[in-house]
Amino acid sequence: MRYPEYLSAGGTIGFVAPSFGCAMEPYRTCFENACRTFEKLGYRLDLGLNCRADEGIGISNTPEKCAAELMEYYRKEENDVLISCGGGELMCEVLSHMDFEALKAAKPKWYMGFSDNTNMTFLLATLCDTASIYGPCASSFGMEPWHESLQDAFDLLTGKKDAVYGYDRWEPAEAKESLRAEETPLALYRLTEKKILKSYVGHSAVPAEKKLQFEGRLIGGCMDCLVNLLGTRFDRTAEFTERYKKEGLIWFLEACDLNVFSIRRAMWQMEEAGWFRYVKGFLIGRPLCFGQELMGLDAYQAVLKVAGEKNVPVIMDVDLGHLSPMMPLITGSHGKVSVCGNDISIQFS
């Protein structure tokens, strides 16, 4: 696994938009304020042409132009790290115009983003053996002041931190939608819900007072994107897991548009493809459909039908994904996870 150099003081942050750009509110205002914040911190900026574009369908521009920007900005020397402008819907179409062999041959560079950006963070690790950060997109840094999760993400980029911890409270979807509207784009998270982790080993719930510890190579992302990649020419996940089978894999997974049945189908599909063959543990983020139950199936049993058969720790409702705040994770790194009750820490090495 190749690890990029950290962002140094006074370095240059590159911004790209292989998924949505920051062309509409509230993302435009958030991005502009994020840029001002980074400049106040002493960093230079290198903005791709698609950052403010709204010419594509589900992404900022045409797949060809998005791929060209991403290839150029990843390989150019004028920036030191890349932060994606946002998530979106059809970044998968950009992959058809990417050259991952060229990215593998290039000097490794930190790339940070989540959701649709799984198409880059996951493939950098599995195709290029290059670590990346599954973390917030650029517009999130427009918040004033930063939530500690944003500071954690930036501290990973700058090398000031090698571990992350869970947060006490989280923001439900309805608060997220109503709070950060066009009128209040820079609003803070409305953290009304107490974080309650649900821990299992196999199918059995773990008592709150029992401490769980496990380690392995961190890999994963948004399930919506992962199952879309499965079986394509970009899917070399089985080869990746074979390379790291001695230390094993920790799969971190979260869901955006999937309902509980879609989550269960996704888990089945990844299992049948052999992705979980050497799993040492699962970190499952709160799904956007949190609390949903359909025909007697909830999000916990949607995951445990497969994960529970592995007889490894399964930690659910982790601060990961679309219901803020989210712990940034270094995809491709070796992670040591410690969980006790509602406390979780992940050490990267």
**Contact residues for 101 (Cβ-Cβ < 8 A; gap 6+):** none
Residue-level pLDDT at 185: 82
In the chain, where the domains are located: 12-161, 169-348
- Enter the CATH code of domain 12-161: 3.40.50.10740
> Looking at the domain covering 169-348, what would its CATH class be?
alpha beta
pLDDT at res. 186: 86
pLDDT band at 108 (very low <50, low <70, confident <90, very high): very high
- The predicted-structure confidence for 9-61, as pLDDT tens digits, reads as follows 999 999 999 999 999 988 999 999 999 999 999 999 999 999 999 999 999 99
pLDDT at 205: 96
pLDDT at 178 exceeding the cut of 60:
no
The model carries a pTM of 0.96
Kindly report the average pLDDT of the chain as a whole number: 96
Tell me the pLDDT band of 181, cut-offs 50, 70 and 90.
low
Q: Span 78-86, mean pLDDT? A: 97
Q: What percent of the chain has pLDDT over 70?
A: 97
Residue 174: its pLDDT value, please? Answer: 80
Residue that is written with structure tokens 């999000």 in the block: 299
Segments of the chain assigned E as strands: 12-16, 44-47, 81-84, 110-113, 132-134, 163-165, 169-170, 193-194, 198-201, 204-205, 211-222, 249-254, 279-285, 293-294, 297-298, 313-318, 329-331, 334-340, 343-348
